[in-house]
Amino acid sequence: MAKARRTTHRSKTGKKLYAVRSKEGKFKDIQTYKRAHGADLRKKSKPETAAAAKRAAKKKTK
């Protein structure tokens, strides 16, 4: 499944926003850049998770 594409906007107060649009082009989700970016950093990718599991298994066998 493809990752939802985000477009950036600015709020009235000047904060950067991320907007996710549906296939019809309507806004599906709008978040501040700070919140969306923080969530992206907290979430681990599949290769990162696999590498961590491999390290843990290697450490456990020693």
d(CA 32, CA 13): 11
8 A C-beta contact, residue 6 and residue 36: yes
Q: What is the mean pLDDT of residues 15-19?
A: 92
pTM over the 0.85 mark: no
Q: How many CA atoms lie within 13 A of 21 on its CB side?
A: 9
Q: What's the Cα-to-Cα distance from 60 to each of 46, 50, 53, 55, 57, rounded to whole Å?
A: 21, 15, 10, 9, 5
Residue ranges of the domains in the chain? 6-61
Enumerate the H helices of the chain as residue ranges.
Answer: 33-42, 46-61
Supply 21's token pair: 């649009």
Which tens digits make up the pLDDT trace of 27-60? Answer: 888 999 999 888 888 989 999 999 999 999 988 8
The pLDDT of residue 1: 47
